[in-house]
A and B are shown apart, each in its own frame.
Chain A
Amino acid sequence: MKGKTPVIIAVVVGLIILGFGFLRFELPVVSVSAEHLFDLGPLSVSNSLFTSVIVTIIIAVVAILGTRNMQLVPSGLQNVIELVVETLYNLTEGVSGPKWAGRFFVIPATIFIFVLGSNWFGLIPGLAGVGYCAVHHAEEAHAEEEVHVEEEVHAEEASWFGAVRHNTCPPGEEIVPFFRSPSADLNYTVMLALVSQVAAQFFGFAALGFGGYLGKYLVFDGLKAAFGPDDHGNKRSTGSMLGQLAMGAIDLFVGLLEGISEFIKVIAFTFRLFGNIFAGEVMLVVLTFLVPLVLTIPFIGFEIFVGLIQAFIFFILSVAFYSVAVTSHSHEEGH
Protein backbone atom coordinates (compact mmCIF):
# COMPACT_ATOMS: atom_id res chain seq x y z
CA MET A 1 0.00 0.00 0.00
CA LYS A 2 2.77 2.41 0.94
CA GLY A 3 4.63 1.89 -2.32
CA LYS A 4 1.56 2.70 -4.37
CA THR A 5 0.78 6.05 -2.73
CA PRO A 6 3.25 8.19 -4.78
CA VAL A 7 1.98 6.57 -7.98
CA ILE A 8 -1.63 7.41 -7.11
CA ILE A 9 -0.71 10.99 -6.25
CA ALA A 10 1.22 11.32 -9.53
CA VAL A 11 -1.71 9.95 -11.52
CA VAL A 12 -4.20 12.30 -9.82
CA VAL A 13 -2.00 15.37 -10.31
CA GLY A 14 -1.35 14.27 -13.89
CA LEU A 15 -5.06 13.95 -14.60
CA ILE A 16 -5.75 17.38 -13.12
CA ILE A 17 -3.02 18.99 -15.25
CA LEU A 18 -4.11 17.04 -18.33
CA GLY A 19 -7.71 18.08 -17.89
CA PHE A 20 -6.75 21.66 -17.14
CA GLY A 21 -4.47 22.01 -20.12
CA PHE A 22 -5.93 19.86 -22.86
CA LEU A 23 -9.65 19.50 -22.26
CA ARG A 24 -11.74 22.59 -22.63
CA PHE A 25 -15.46 22.63 -22.03
CA GLU A 26 -17.85 25.41 -22.78
CA LEU A 27 -19.63 26.80 -19.76
CA PRO A 28 -23.10 25.23 -19.91
CA VAL A 29 -26.17 27.40 -19.63
CA VAL A 30 -27.23 27.88 -16.01
CA SER A 31 -30.93 28.52 -15.60
CA VAL A 32 -32.53 29.45 -12.29
CA SER A 33 -35.99 28.28 -13.33
CA ALA A 34 -36.76 24.71 -14.31
CA GLU A 35 -36.98 23.89 -18.00
CA HIS A 36 -40.31 23.08 -19.63
CA LEU A 37 -40.51 19.49 -20.86
CA PHE A 38 -44.03 18.76 -22.14
CA ASP A 39 -47.69 19.59 -21.54
CA LEU A 40 -50.08 17.24 -19.80
CA GLY A 41 -53.42 18.76 -20.65
CA PRO A 42 -53.42 22.23 -19.07
CA LEU A 43 -50.50 21.24 -16.82
CA SER A 44 -47.04 22.33 -17.90
CA VAL A 45 -44.58 19.65 -16.78
CA SER A 46 -41.08 20.91 -16.04
CA ASN A 47 -38.09 18.64 -15.65
CA SER A 48 -37.97 19.16 -11.88
CA LEU A 49 -41.62 18.13 -11.55
CA PHE A 50 -40.87 15.08 -13.69
CA THR A 51 -37.89 14.21 -11.46
CA SER A 52 -39.87 14.67 -8.25
CA VAL A 53 -42.44 12.16 -9.53
CA ILE A 54 -39.64 9.71 -10.24
CA VAL A 55 -38.19 10.26 -6.75
CA THR A 56 -41.64 9.66 -5.25
CA ILE A 57 -41.93 6.39 -7.18
CA ILE A 58 -38.46 5.29 -6.03
CA ILE A 59 -39.28 6.03 -2.37
CA ALA A 60 -42.62 4.23 -2.66
CA VAL A 61 -41.01 1.17 -4.25
CA VAL A 62 -38.31 1.02 -1.57
CA ALA A 63 -40.95 1.37 1.18
CA ILE A 64 -43.12 -1.37 -0.33
CA LEU A 65 -40.16 -3.72 -0.83
CA GLY A 66 -38.95 -3.10 2.71
CA THR A 67 -42.30 -3.64 4.41
CA ARG A 68 -43.72 -6.37 2.16
CA ASN A 69 -42.63 -9.22 4.39
CA MET A 70 -42.28 -7.76 7.86
CA GLN A 71 -40.50 -9.74 10.56
CA LEU A 72 -40.42 -9.16 14.30
CA VAL A 73 -36.62 -9.31 14.11
CA PRO A 74 -35.88 -7.08 11.13
CA SER A 75 -33.21 -7.82 8.58
CA GLY A 76 -32.02 -6.31 5.32
CA LEU A 77 -34.06 -3.46 3.86
CA GLN A 78 -36.63 -3.53 6.66
CA ASN A 79 -33.78 -2.99 9.11
CA VAL A 80 -32.56 0.09 7.22
CA ILE A 81 -36.05 1.60 7.03
CA GLU A 82 -36.65 0.96 10.73
CA LEU A 83 -33.31 2.56 11.54
CA VAL A 84 -34.20 5.73 9.60
CA VAL A 85 -37.72 6.02 11.01
CA GLU A 86 -36.64 5.29 14.58
CA THR A 87 -33.79 7.82 14.44
CA LEU A 88 -36.17 10.49 13.15
CA TYR A 89 -38.75 9.62 15.80
CA ASN A 90 -36.21 9.80 18.62
CA LEU A 91 -35.00 13.18 17.35
CA THR A 92 -38.59 14.45 17.29
CA GLU A 93 -39.13 13.19 20.81
CA GLY A 94 -35.94 14.89 21.96
CA VAL A 95 -37.08 18.27 20.64
CA SER A 96 -40.81 18.25 21.33
CA GLY A 97 -41.24 15.82 24.21
CA PRO A 98 -43.16 12.54 24.18
CA LYS A 99 -46.63 14.11 24.30
CA TRP A 100 -46.56 15.64 20.83
CA ALA A 101 -43.90 13.51 19.14
CA GLY A 102 -46.36 11.18 17.42
CA ARG A 103 -48.24 14.03 15.76
CA PHE A 104 -45.22 16.25 14.99
CA PHE A 105 -43.23 13.41 13.51
CA VAL A 106 -45.34 12.65 10.44
CA ILE A 107 -45.01 15.65 8.11
CA PRO A 108 -41.37 16.62 8.80
CA ALA A 109 -40.20 13.01 8.51
CA THR A 110 -41.98 12.65 5.16
CA ILE A 111 -40.39 15.90 4.00
CA PHE A 112 -36.98 14.69 5.22
CA ILE A 113 -37.12 11.49 3.19
CA PHE A 114 -38.52 13.25 0.12
CA VAL A 115 -35.97 16.08 0.24
CA LEU A 116 -33.10 13.69 0.85
CA GLY A 117 -34.15 11.59 -2.15
CA SER A 118 -34.50 14.71 -4.31
CA ASN A 119 -31.14 16.16 -3.27
CA TRP A 120 -29.26 12.94 -3.89
CA PHE A 121 -31.06 12.14 -7.13
CA GLY A 122 -29.83 15.42 -8.59
CA LEU A 123 -26.23 14.45 -7.80
CA ILE A 124 -26.14 11.29 -9.91
CA PRO A 125 -23.29 12.02 -12.35
CA GLY A 126 -24.20 12.21 -16.02
CA LEU A 127 -27.89 12.96 -15.58
CA ALA A 128 -27.40 16.58 -16.63
CA GLY A 129 -26.36 15.41 -20.08
CA VAL A 130 -29.50 13.39 -20.78
CA GLY A 131 -31.96 15.55 -22.66
CA TYR A 132 -33.12 16.92 -25.97
CA CYS A 133 -31.86 19.84 -28.01
CA ALA A 134 -33.77 23.11 -28.03
CA VAL A 135 -33.17 26.83 -28.02
CA HIS A 136 -32.75 27.47 -24.34
CA HIS A 137 -35.16 29.93 -22.75
CA ALA A 138 -32.35 31.50 -20.76
CA GLU A 139 -30.39 31.89 -24.01
CA GLU A 140 -33.28 33.51 -25.83
CA ALA A 141 -33.42 36.41 -23.42
CA HIS A 142 -29.72 37.13 -23.67
CA ALA A 143 -29.32 36.22 -27.33
CA GLU A 144 -28.82 39.70 -28.71
CA GLU A 145 -26.58 40.77 -25.82
CA GLU A 146 -24.23 37.85 -26.20
CA VAL A 147 -23.61 38.02 -29.92
CA HIS A 148 -20.56 40.22 -29.68
CA VAL A 149 -19.25 38.45 -26.58
CA GLU A 150 -19.41 35.01 -28.18
CA GLU A 151 -17.01 35.89 -30.98
CA GLU A 152 -14.28 36.78 -28.51
CA VAL A 153 -14.83 33.54 -26.59
CA HIS A 154 -14.50 31.45 -29.73
CA ALA A 155 -11.34 33.27 -30.74
CA GLU A 156 -9.85 32.49 -27.34
CA GLU A 157 -10.87 28.85 -27.41
CA ALA A 158 -9.26 28.22 -30.76
CA SER A 159 -5.88 28.75 -29.17
CA TRP A 160 -6.37 25.77 -26.86
CA PHE A 161 -5.34 22.31 -28.00
CA GLY A 162 -8.75 20.78 -28.38
CA ALA A 163 -11.86 22.83 -27.78
CA VAL A 164 -14.43 20.20 -26.79
CA ARG A 165 -18.07 21.05 -27.26
CA HIS A 166 -19.99 19.80 -24.24
CA ASN A 167 -22.90 18.56 -26.36
CA THR A 168 -23.76 17.33 -29.81
CA CYS A 169 -26.58 19.80 -30.40
CA PRO A 170 -26.53 22.01 -33.50
CA PRO A 171 -25.06 25.48 -32.84
CA GLY A 172 -27.41 27.87 -31.09
CA GLU A 173 -29.27 25.08 -29.33
CA GLU A 174 -28.65 23.69 -25.87
CA ILE A 175 -29.39 20.45 -24.09
CA VAL A 176 -32.59 20.67 -22.06
CA PRO A 177 -32.05 17.92 -19.48
CA PHE A 178 -34.85 15.50 -18.62
CA PHE A 179 -33.77 15.46 -14.98
CA ARG A 180 -33.13 18.33 -12.59
CA SER A 181 -32.88 18.08 -8.84
CA PRO A 182 -36.36 19.14 -7.63
CA SER A 183 -34.78 21.08 -4.75
CA ALA A 184 -33.12 23.34 -7.34
CA ASP A 185 -36.57 24.60 -8.36
CA LEU A 186 -38.28 27.28 -6.27
CA ASN A 187 -41.76 25.83 -6.87
CA TYR A 188 -40.81 22.63 -5.09
CA THR A 189 -39.21 24.26 -2.05
CA VAL A 190 -42.00 26.83 -1.59
CA MET A 191 -44.51 23.96 -1.69
CA LEU A 192 -42.66 22.10 1.07
CA ALA A 193 -42.31 25.28 3.14
CA LEU A 194 -46.02 26.05 2.86
CA VAL A 195 -47.02 22.50 3.84
CA SER A 196 -44.68 22.61 6.83
CA GLN A 197 -45.79 26.05 8.05
CA VAL A 198 -49.53 25.56 7.49
CA ALA A 199 -49.20 22.44 9.63
CA ALA A 200 -47.48 24.58 12.29
CA GLN A 201 -50.46 26.97 12.37
CA PHE A 202 -52.81 23.98 12.55
CA PHE A 203 -50.97 22.53 15.55
CA GLY A 204 -51.00 25.93 17.19
CA PHE A 205 -54.77 26.30 16.86
CA ALA A 206 -55.35 22.69 17.89
CA ALA A 207 -53.27 22.99 21.06
CA LEU A 208 -54.16 26.49 22.30
CA GLY A 209 -57.64 27.01 20.87
CA PHE A 210 -58.66 29.75 18.43
CA GLY A 211 -58.39 32.70 20.82
CA GLY A 212 -55.39 31.30 22.64
CA TYR A 213 -53.30 30.97 19.53
CA LEU A 214 -54.31 34.34 18.07
CA GLY A 215 -53.56 35.83 21.49
CA LYS A 216 -49.88 35.05 20.91
CA TYR A 217 -49.81 37.57 18.07
CA LEU A 218 -52.50 40.07 19.09
CA VAL A 219 -51.45 40.99 22.62
CA PHE A 220 -53.93 43.42 24.21
CA ASP A 221 -53.34 42.42 27.85
CA GLY A 222 -50.83 45.22 28.45
CA LEU A 223 -53.15 47.88 27.00
CA LYS A 224 -56.11 46.59 28.99
CA ALA A 225 -54.12 46.66 32.22
CA ALA A 226 -53.57 50.40 31.78
CA PHE A 227 -57.24 51.07 32.52
CA GLY A 228 -57.49 48.69 35.45
CA PRO A 229 -55.94 48.97 38.92
CA ASP A 230 -52.18 48.69 39.31
CA ASP A 231 -50.20 45.89 40.95
CA HIS A 232 -51.18 46.92 44.48
CA GLY A 233 -54.89 47.22 43.65
CA ASN A 234 -54.88 51.04 43.76
CA LYS A 235 -56.34 53.31 41.11
CA ARG A 236 -53.68 54.36 38.57
CA SER A 237 -52.33 57.90 38.39
CA THR A 238 -52.10 59.51 34.93
CA GLY A 239 -48.34 58.93 34.76
CA SER A 240 -48.64 55.26 35.68
CA MET A 241 -51.41 54.83 33.11
CA LEU A 242 -49.28 56.39 30.35
CA GLY A 243 -46.35 54.18 31.31
CA GLN A 244 -48.51 51.07 31.22
CA LEU A 245 -49.97 52.16 27.88
CA ALA A 246 -46.47 52.46 26.42
CA MET A 247 -45.55 49.01 27.73
CA GLY A 248 -48.76 47.59 26.29
CA ALA A 249 -48.04 49.17 22.91
CA ILE A 250 -44.59 47.57 22.91
CA ASP A 251 -46.14 44.18 23.76
CA LEU A 252 -48.61 44.58 20.92
CA PHE A 253 -45.84 45.52 18.51
CA VAL A 254 -43.69 42.53 19.55
CA GLY A 255 -46.68 40.22 19.08
CA LEU A 256 -47.32 41.63 15.60
CA LEU A 257 -43.65 41.17 14.73
CA GLU A 258 -43.93 37.53 15.75
CA GLY A 259 -46.95 37.19 13.49
CA ILE A 260 -44.95 38.61 10.59
CA SER A 261 -42.07 36.26 11.36
CA GLU A 262 -44.42 33.33 10.71
CA PHE A 263 -44.47 34.45 7.07
CA ILE A 264 -40.74 35.09 7.05
CA LYS A 265 -40.24 31.47 8.10
CA VAL A 266 -41.84 30.29 4.85
CA ILE A 267 -39.48 32.49 2.83
CA ALA A 268 -36.47 31.35 4.86
CA PHE A 269 -37.39 27.67 4.43
CA THR A 270 -37.87 28.17 0.69
CA PHE A 271 -34.63 29.97 -0.04
CA ARG A 272 -32.47 27.96 2.36
CA LEU A 273 -33.14 24.69 0.58
CA PHE A 274 -33.22 26.20 -2.91
CA GLY A 275 -30.09 28.29 -2.38
CA ASN A 276 -28.01 25.47 -0.97
CA ILE A 277 -28.88 22.87 -3.59
CA PHE A 278 -28.89 25.23 -6.58
CA ALA A 279 -25.60 26.81 -5.51
CA GLY A 280 -24.11 23.32 -5.17
CA GLU A 281 -25.14 22.42 -8.71
CA VAL A 282 -23.80 25.67 -10.13
CA MET A 283 -20.54 25.12 -8.23
CA LEU A 284 -20.14 21.62 -9.71
CA VAL A 285 -20.83 22.94 -13.22
CA VAL A 286 -18.38 25.82 -12.91
CA LEU A 287 -15.76 23.54 -11.37
CA THR A 288 -16.08 21.10 -14.28
CA PHE A 289 -15.62 24.06 -16.58
CA LEU A 290 -12.45 25.18 -14.81
CA VAL A 291 -10.81 21.82 -14.03
CA PRO A 292 -12.51 19.07 -16.07
CA LEU A 293 -11.04 15.99 -14.37
CA VAL A 294 -10.76 14.59 -10.82
CA LEU A 295 -11.31 17.77 -8.79
CA THR A 296 -15.11 17.52 -8.95
CA ILE A 297 -15.11 14.18 -7.09
CA PRO A 298 -14.48 15.55 -3.56
CA PHE A 299 -17.01 18.30 -4.23
CA ILE A 300 -19.66 15.73 -5.16
CA GLY A 301 -18.92 14.13 -1.78
CA PHE A 302 -19.36 17.54 -0.16
CA GLU A 303 -22.67 18.04 -1.97
CA ILE A 304 -23.90 14.65 -0.72
CA PHE A 305 -23.14 15.91 2.80
CA VAL A 306 -24.90 19.24 2.13
CA GLY A 307 -27.96 17.43 0.76
CA LEU A 308 -28.22 15.36 3.94
CA ILE A 309 -27.70 18.39 6.21
CA GLN A 310 -30.30 20.48 4.39
CA ALA A 311 -32.89 17.71 4.60
CA PHE A 312 -32.07 17.31 8.30
CA ILE A 313 -32.35 21.06 8.93
CA PHE A 314 -35.71 21.23 7.18
CA PHE A 315 -36.89 18.37 9.42
CA ILE A 316 -35.54 19.62 12.73
CA LEU A 317 -36.60 23.25 12.13
CA SER A 318 -40.15 22.14 11.32
CA VAL A 319 -40.32 20.15 14.54
CA ALA A 320 -38.85 23.06 16.52
CA PHE A 321 -41.40 25.50 15.04
CA TYR A 322 -44.23 23.10 15.86
CA SER A 323 -42.99 22.92 19.44
CA VAL A 324 -42.95 26.72 19.64
CA ALA A 325 -46.44 26.92 18.12
CA VAL A 326 -48.03 24.70 20.78
CA THR A 327 -46.47 26.51 23.77
CA SER A 328 -48.56 29.39 25.00
CA HIS A 329 -46.99 32.64 26.15
CA SER A 330 -48.40 32.50 29.65
CA HIS A 331 -46.26 29.41 30.30
CA GLU A 332 -43.08 31.32 29.76
CA GLU A 333 -44.19 34.31 31.76
CA GLY A 334 -45.26 32.27 34.75
CA HIS A 335 -42.15 33.08 36.76
Chain B
Amino acid sequence: MDVEATKLIGAALAIGLGAIGPGIGIGILVNGALNALARNPDVSGQITTNMFIGMAFAEALAIFGLVISLILLFVV
Protein backbone atom coordinates (compact mmCIF):
# COMPACT_ATOMS: atom_id res chain seq x y z
CA MET B 1 0.00 0.00 0.00
CA ASP B 2 1.08 3.57 -0.68
CA VAL B 3 2.78 5.36 2.24
CA GLU B 4 0.60 8.44 1.73
CA ALA B 5 -2.55 6.31 1.87
CA THR B 6 -1.54 4.55 5.08
CA LYS B 7 -0.82 7.96 6.60
CA LEU B 8 -4.33 9.17 5.77
CA ILE B 9 -5.93 5.97 7.07
CA GLY B 10 -3.89 6.23 10.26
CA ALA B 11 -4.98 9.83 10.79
CA ALA B 12 -8.64 8.93 10.28
CA LEU B 13 -8.39 5.94 12.64
CA ALA B 14 -6.61 7.99 15.32
CA ILE B 15 -9.39 10.54 15.70
CA GLY B 16 -12.24 8.21 14.68
CA LEU B 17 -11.52 5.50 17.24
CA GLY B 18 -10.22 8.01 19.76
CA ALA B 19 -13.48 9.95 19.80
CA ILE B 20 -15.68 6.95 20.69
CA GLY B 21 -14.71 6.63 24.35
CA PRO B 22 -14.76 10.33 25.24
CA GLY B 23 -18.08 10.69 23.41
CA ILE B 24 -19.68 7.99 25.55
CA GLY B 25 -17.98 9.37 28.65
CA ILE B 26 -19.19 12.93 28.13
CA GLY B 27 -22.67 11.59 27.44
CA ILE B 28 -22.76 9.72 30.75
CA LEU B 29 -21.29 12.72 32.54
CA VAL B 30 -23.85 15.21 31.26
CA ASN B 31 -26.61 12.68 31.93
CA GLY B 32 -25.56 12.51 35.56
CA ALA B 33 -25.18 16.26 35.86
CA LEU B 34 -28.62 16.95 34.37
CA ASN B 35 -30.21 14.37 36.67
CA ALA B 36 -28.61 16.04 39.65
CA LEU B 37 -29.70 19.47 38.40
CA ALA B 38 -33.30 18.35 38.00
CA ARG B 39 -33.34 16.95 41.55
CA ASN B 40 -31.58 19.87 43.18
CA PRO B 41 -31.50 23.07 41.12
CA ASP B 42 -30.09 25.07 44.07
CA VAL B 43 -26.53 23.78 43.58
CA SER B 44 -26.53 24.31 39.82
CA GLY B 45 -23.38 26.42 39.94
CA GLN B 46 -21.30 23.77 41.67
CA ILE B 47 -22.66 20.94 39.53
CA THR B 48 -21.97 22.83 36.31
CA THR B 49 -18.41 23.63 37.38
CA ASN B 50 -17.69 20.03 38.29
CA MET B 51 -19.34 18.85 35.09
CA PHE B 52 -16.98 21.03 33.08
CA ILE B 53 -13.98 19.70 34.98
CA GLY B 54 -15.04 16.13 34.26
CA MET B 55 -15.75 16.94 30.64
CA ALA B 56 -12.27 18.41 30.31
CA PHE B 57 -10.74 15.13 31.49
CA ALA B 58 -12.85 13.02 29.16
CA GLU B 59 -12.33 15.36 26.26
CA ALA B 60 -8.55 15.39 26.71
CA LEU B 61 -8.37 11.82 25.35
CA ALA B 62 -10.18 12.81 22.18
CA ILE B 63 -7.86 15.79 21.86
CA PHE B 64 -4.83 13.49 22.11
CA GLY B 65 -6.23 11.45 19.23
CA LEU B 66 -6.84 14.63 17.28
CA VAL B 67 -3.28 15.82 17.85
CA ILE B 68 -1.95 12.46 16.65
CA SER B 69 -4.03 12.65 13.49
CA LEU B 70 -3.00 16.28 12.86
CA ILE B 71 0.65 15.32 13.25
CA LEU B 72 0.15 12.42 10.83
CA LEU B 73 -1.52 14.71 8.32
CA PHE B 74 0.66 17.79 8.44
CA VAL B 75 4.01 16.97 10.04
CA VAL B 76 5.14 13.40 9.37
A positions within 8 Å CB-CB of B: 30-32, 91, 94-95, 138, 145, 268, 271-272, 274-276, 278-279, 282, 309, 312-313, 316-317, 320
Contacts and interface: CB of A to CB of B under 8 A. Distances in A.
B56 A94 contact: no
A270 to B, nearest CB: 9
A271 B63 contact: yes
A30 B74 contact: yes
A275 B53 contact: no
B60 A32 contact: no
A228 to B, nearest CB: 38
B63 A31 contact: no
B49 to A, nearest CB: 6
A309 B71 CA distance: 24
Nearest to B46: A94
A268 B64 CA distance: 8
Interface residues of B, number: 20
B52 A313 contact: yes
B34 to A, nearest CB: 18
B49 A95 contact: yes
A316 B45 CA distance: 13
B45 A274 contact: no
A31 B74 contact: yes
A30 B49 CA distance: 34
Contacts of B75: 32
B58 to A, nearest CB: 11
B45 A32 contact: no
Interface string B55-75: 111011001101100110111
A317 B59 CA distance: 13
Contact of B63 (A30, A32, A275, A316): A275
Nearest to A186: B67
Contacts of B60: 268, 271-272
A320 B57 CA distance: 12
B67 A275 contact: yes
Nearest to B74: A32
B70 A272 contact: no
A272 B59 contact: yes
Nearest to A310: B56
A91 B67 CA distance: 30
19 contacts: A30-B73, A31-B74, A91-B49, A94-B46, A268-B57, A268-B60, A271-B64, A271-B67, A272-B59, A272-B60, A275-B66, A276-B63, A279-B70, A309-B52, A312-B52, A313-B56, A316-B49, A316-B53, A320-B53
A32 B53 contact: no
Contacts of A317: 53, 56
B46 A279 contact: no
A282 B46 contact: no
A271 B57 CA distance: 12
B49 A94 contact: yes
B74 A94 contact: no
Contacts of A278: 70
Nearest to A142: B74
A312 B52 CA distance: 9
Nearest to B45: A94
Most chain A CB within a 10 A radius of its CB, from B52, B57, B63, B71: B63
B73 to A, nearest CB: 8
A304 B40 CA distance: 30
Contact of A282 (B57, B59, B70): B70
A272 B60 CA distance: 6
Given A271-B60, A272-B60, A276-B63, A32 B49 contact: no
Contacts of A309: 52
Contact of A32 (B56, B64, B71): B71
Given A32-B75, A271-B64, 5 more contacts: A30-B73, A94-B46, A272-B56, A272-B59, A320-B53
